[in-house]
Amino acid sequence: MTQKSSDVVLERLMSLHPKIIDLTLDRMTRLLDVLGSPEKAIPPVIHIAGTNGKGSTAAMIRAGLEASGEKVHAYTSPHLARFHERIRLAGDLIDEQLLAETLEECERVNGTTSITYFEITTCAAFLAFSRVKADHTILEVGLGGRLDATNVIDQPQITIITPVSVDHQQYLGETLAEIAGEKAGILKRSTFGVVGPQPDEALEVIEAKAARVGATLKIYGQHWHVWEENGRLIYQDEYGLLDLPKPVLLGEHQMQNAGMAIAALRLMNKSNDDCAAAMTGAEWPARMQRLRAGPLTDAAPKAELWLDGGHNEAAGRAISKLLTTLPQRPTHLVVGMLNTKDVSGYMRHFLADTVSLQAVSIPGEAATLSAAETAKAASDLGFQVTKADDVLSAVKSIVAKDSSARILICGSLYLAGNILRENA
């Protein structure tokens, strides 16, 4: 078959439903049934929900499993530069021809019946997973959990709920309890559920859900603990204590993500060496990623450029705390966010330790917060603010005044993807 452009197919799939997000499992179960129930034929599933840390935790688990010699499928979202990043088959990104063929097959079987973009592309991922041999499948929830398109797996191997905080209130509920209830929807009977650090209000809901469905929880602070000691990661559970390298992914919050990954690996009987490999071998772009090549670094050769896709208050808190642990250097922000996010809640954590903030719009995103709106919110918080036409202009403006500045480009995974398409 002649190689096709997956982008053309993906563009057609966008037209199959009037809404980008419309949470229900009905359309998924219908199409999967017609496709022959591929979700029942994929390797054992590690299903991950939560507000923050899903991708990092998944990356560490994958690194640990692959270190043990096993093949791992993985499904994550959103992508940064190319859709192919969402689907890994036995460790490798799905290739262009197979992606186009699989998407077309789902499109052909679905016809013109209403289904969202995320739902039909998730069906395509399951179809691809069912046809390639592997030992494990890591599924990252797209939004929420209970009604997320990935939640058609009846009996996952392990479920994981990363820290829950307020985000996507228009879909998941206004309170932590309501949001936690949606995340806890992935818990299944007779399945272990690893639970990361949670506010009491969220943990109470998660524990109640587990009791109702008959899931066995392994909870941070009760069944497992993780902390830093002498530059190492120390993990302890009922099976003993591990002394491991710190995660290669930066930030104190990554210690918690590492703890969840280790807890899952221990439940799968992986070795201490596999757990160590999870710490040293994980790769996850746009999570405090240092930019070292491309037009931005060319424009600021003496500056220190960082990229992070975190976009809610908890992410702002975690990343701002990480910045204070880096060698002292004047720090400037370049911020672009979606209009569905709590821009003030995110930015306020950076106020005490940054010199200035450049506000930008996210290119090509209809839901972008305008540079003017971001600048207004930042100014109201007390930042020294400038609007910029784009990120490159913002970087040039900063280094014109301080050539050796530390610059953090942040606020959205969509902004991060735009940056990574031209800078690596």
Q: Report whether 47 contacts 139 (CB < 8 A).
A: yes
289-420 under CATH 3.40.50.300, yes or no? no
The pLDDT assigned to 29 comes to 97
The pLDDT assigned to 170 comes to 67
Q: Cβ contacts of residue 35 below 8 Å, gap of 6+?
A: 105, 106, 109, 123, 126, 127
CA nearest 58: which of 148, 143, 153, 136? 136
What's the chain's length in residues? 424
In the chain, CATH 3.90.190.20 covers 289-420
The pLDDT assigned to 171 comes to 61
Is the link from the previous residue into 78 a cis peptide, with omega within 30 of 0? yes
CATH class of the domain at 6-281: alpha beta
Q: Is 107 left (phi over 0), alpha (psi -120 to 50) or beta?
A: alpha
Along the chain (424 residues), what's the average pLDDT of each consecutive run of 10 residues?
74 90 92 98 98 94 98 94 95 96 97 96 98 98 94 97 81 85 96 96 97 98 96 95 95 93 97 97 90 94 94 89 91 95 93 95 92 96 95 96 95 92 81
Say which residue the tokens 């690893």 belong to: 194
CA nearest 345: which of 166, 196, 177? 166
The pLDDT assigned to 2 comes to 43
In the chain, CATH 3.40.1190.10 covers 6-281
